[in-house]
Amino acid sequence: MAKKKTAGDSKTRAVSPNVMGLRAEVLEQPITETLELNYMPYAMSVIVSRAIPEIDGLKPSHRKLLYTMYQMKLLGGARTKSANVVGQTMKLNPHGDAAIYDTMVRLSRGYGALLHPLVDSKGNFGKVYSRDMAWAASRYTEVRLDPICAELFRDIDQDTVDFVDNYDGKLKEPTLLPTTFPNVLVSANKGIAVGMASDLCGFNLGEVCDTAIALLKNPEHDILSTLKAPDLPTGGELLYDAAALSEIYRTGRGSFKVRARWRYIKSENLIEVYEIPYSTTSEAIMDKVTDLVKSGKLKEIADIRDETDLSGLKLTIDLKRGTDPDKLMAKLFRLTPLLDSQSCNFNILIAGMPKVLGVRAILEEWTAWRMESIRRRVYYSMNKKKERLHLLKGLRRILLDIDRAIQIIRDTEEDDQVTPNLMIGFGIDQIQAEYVADIRLRNINKEYILKRTQEVDALADEIADLEDIVNSPKRIRKIIAHELAEVKKKYAAPRRTQIIYDHMDEPIMTAEEETPDYPVHLFFSREGYLKKITPQSLRMASEQKYKEGDAPYLQWEATNRDELLVFTDRQQCYKTRLADFDDTKASALGDYLPTKLGMDPEEHALWACIPGDYSGHLLFFFENGKAARVELSAYQTQTRRKKLTGAYSDKSPLASAFLVREDFEAAVISSDNRCLVFHTASLTPKATRNTQGVAVMTLKPKFKVSQVLPLERTHITNPSRYRARALPAAGAILRETDREEEQLSLL
């Protein structure tokens, strides 16, 4: 394909022939320019006009819906069908009826997503705590504005906020609603924009009003003293963390933990969960509990079911006999969403710009915006009174000679000359003259005019007072504080989310404490099979069954809570817990460790031990005649890591290994039937796991260490023959009488 540049054009044009033999030009556009011209406007529209709430606590979709309902006289009126509201809202919001109805559902009292719902609903609106409970269609439900919306629309007709054209320019809609309280902190809100998101949790209305009033009086007020903690619509118990909340209040980012509320019904041996965290659903909790029961991690639960009804949420958990409900709930809090984290990202639009603000900054921004709204309201009222005063001053001018005014009107031949003649006759302006001319005939009496003109002095005093308010931030703040106190008195409700201050003193169930503890016997075969058998089962049948070609290798007595270290031929150590293995019988083959532990392909288990408290040492004997003594604590990790690489040296294959609590005499036997006896105390311990060790036995070429045994477990009758005076040593040839060997089982 040929390329050419046209004169004055910096873009490259690709030229290709078409089917008619003519050449077609395709304009190539740089990707950066495409993003700038096409994607950026979309991204900004999502941020500014869709996903991020503004200082009144509402997104554009919320505001358009509520304002439509306000225009439909649904504040204090009878309910109407939701479909009717949805249809009317489309005059302001062209995004389709489904999106509008979804917005209405979230604001409704029936759905329960807000501490103070803005839509008073009737019918099935689903529930915020249910993932699968669908709401009814809009033709079946009815709505009206909740009484608290009077605080959202107060004085909206008095120029308190700006109005703009709707999408087709035929209607006007407010850019913000003049809320008399910080709704941005009361109504929970969440939105995902392009490149940013917002997640506002709700706070108790009474606490928010108290905090806003306190900040109006003292900008240095300690917010945590009045705004205790977030308050969530679904209730639950908030685990109080002063440091985490302080960080959220300061930066607007962070998280806090909320757990479910429950009660134990002793007579029926069951637990009822009746409040759950706001961030989860009842179905998510039941799915997780069901999975844990199926996997055997929750053996205390007999059944779980959802008994939610008209009275509210209720998840019922039937317990098995002997189950401690407190310990079970501690376990459920650790393993399920019954205890969940609530994230906070206080990202709101301030004058069209997204900003992440702390609580103090949000209240300061709201106060500044509210002060401007009140100043505009007062200014509007002052201008109305000034207009009224101006008219009454004109009326006062004709009070001295009413008959003359009547005579002027009667002597005027043309209607449009009445106003000019009154202006000339009494020295008043056109507006005053028209007001006088429009007075009804029955009101042209001295008593009526005197009553009207007596208002002049009172109006002048009111105007002066309003002018003082406009110019006095202190008085405006007093008005805001008074309105906040009234809102609290009318609409404040008790906290739904209980604050738990002393949760740090509650016992935390660890995995070890939750794991049942009982004695077990372990059997480890040469092929890598492990069996965990209880003493009771072992007494009933003690004859061990092994796979053909397999044989017993190691056995221990342990408890179900013990850890197990498994070493492989790839110099790796796998850490596991005996509780992860099912109890079995002697007649079973057991668990195949490479599969159970998820080892690498072709990797095999060579040896294992129970580390206990990780005191002592591990002895590694290699086929090249070297031995390494490694501190067992080198295999202890702070985290629950399941695999350690470099568990021992890879310079030579492993011949034998021992867990050493007390030192002993070891007999090292080579493939050419030589034996060397030495005391393990002569080996210096190392902290490095993959140390090569020190030479213990010198070997001739083509020979290797084949076996290492504690001396007391051999049939050597004269050990002094094989003891080495110094290491390394070649050892002595084994006598016939000393060559009898017995299979060793390490305890």
State how far the Cα of 369 lies from the Cα of 439, in Å rounded to an integer: 42
The reply to whether 29 and 151 lie within a common domain is no
The reply to whether 643 and 731 lie within a common domain is yes
Q: Does residue 424 belong to any structural domain of this protein?
A: yes
What mean pLDDT do residues 365-390 have?
94
The reply to whether 528 and 574 lie within a common domain is yes
Mean per-residue pLDDT over the chain, rounded: 88
Q: Does residue 505 belong to any structural domain of this protein?
A: no
Are the C-beta atoms of residues 386 and 463 closer than 8 Å to each other?
yes
The domain that holds 123 is classified in CATH as: 3.90.199.10
Closest Cα partner for 572 from 660, 668, 661, 641?
641
Predicted confidence (pLDDT) at residue 513 exceeds the cutoff of 80: no
Q: Does residue 609 belong to any structural domain of this protein?
A: yes
**What is the structure's pLDDT at 7?**
41
Q: Is 101 a catalytic residue?
A: no
The reply to whether 538 and 650 lie within a common domain is yes
Q: Residues for the chain: how many in total?
A: 747
Helices assigned H by DSSP within 38-154: 40-46, 60-71, 82-89, 97-107
The reply to whether 557 and 691 lie within a common domain is yes
Q: Does residue 237 belong to any structural domain of this protein?
A: no
The reply to whether 145 and 271 lie within a common domain is no
pLDDT in tens, 315-371: 999 999 888 999 899 999 999 999 999 999 999 999 989 999 999 999 999 999 999
Which residues make Cβ contacts (< 8 Å) with residue 288, sequence separation at least 6? Answer: 335, 336, 337
Are the C-beta atoms of residues 716 and 642 closer than 8 Å to each other?
no
Strand partners, 120: 144
Closest Cα partner for 228 from 251, 252, 211, 250?
211
**What is the structure's pLDDT at 17?**
53
The reply to whether 315 and 389 lie within a common domain is no
Closest Cα partner for 234 from 287, 311, 313?
313
Q: Angle CA(200)–CA(202)–CA(208) in degrees, nearest 5?
A: 115
Q: Does residue 39 belong to any structural domain of this protein?
A: no
User: Prior bond to 728 cis, omega within 30?
Assistant: yes
Of the residues 491, 525, 548, the one at which a domain ends:
491
Give residue 296's domain range. 261-337
Q: Does residue 475 belong to any structural domain of this protein?
A: yes
Phi and psi angles of residue 584, each rounded to the nearest 5 degrees, phi first: -135, -170
What mean pLDDT do residues 234-259 have?
94
- Read off the pTM: 0.71
Q: Which of 67, 70, 101, 140 is catalytic?
A: 140
Q: Does residue 247 belong to any structural domain of this protein?
A: no
The reply to whether 566 and 643 lie within a common domain is yes
The domain that holds 397 is classified in CATH as: 1.10.268.10
The reply to whether 167 and 298 lie within a common domain is no
Which residues make Cβ contacts (< 8 Å) with residue 561, sequence separation at least 6? Answer: 512, 515, 517, 577, 578, 579
The reply to whether 483 and 606 lie within a common domain is no
State how far the Cα of 331 lies from the Cα of 509, in Å rounded to an integer: 7
Q: Which two tokens stand for residue 716?
A: 């050597």
Which residues make Cβ contacts (< 8 Å) with residue 164, sequence separation at least 6? Answer: 172, 173, 175
The reply to whether 483 and 597 lie within a common domain is no
Which residues make Cβ contacts (< 8 Å) with residue 747, sequence separation at least 6? Answer: 555, 556, 557
The domain that holds 307 is classified in CATH as: 3.30.1360.40
Query: Alpha carbon of 440 to those of 420, 436, 437, 443: distances in Å?
Result: 19, 9, 8, 5
The reply to whether 56 and 29 lie within a common domain is no
Of the residues 179, 202, 234, the one at which a domain ends:
179
Of the residues 491, 522, 544, the one at which a domain ends:
491
pLDDT in tens, 625-683: 999 999 998 998 766 678 899 999 999 999 999 999 999 999 999 999 899 999 999 99
Q: How confident is the model at residue 265 (pLDDT cuts 50, 70, 90)?
A: very high
Q: Is 439 helix (H, G, I), strand (E, B) or coil?
A: coil
Q: Does residue 345 belong to any structural domain of this protein?
A: no
Are the C-beta atoms of residues 497 and 562 closer than 8 Å to each other?
no
Tell me which amino acid residue 414 is: E
Residue 258 half-sphere exposure toward CB, CA atoms < 13 A? 24
Domain count, the chain: 5
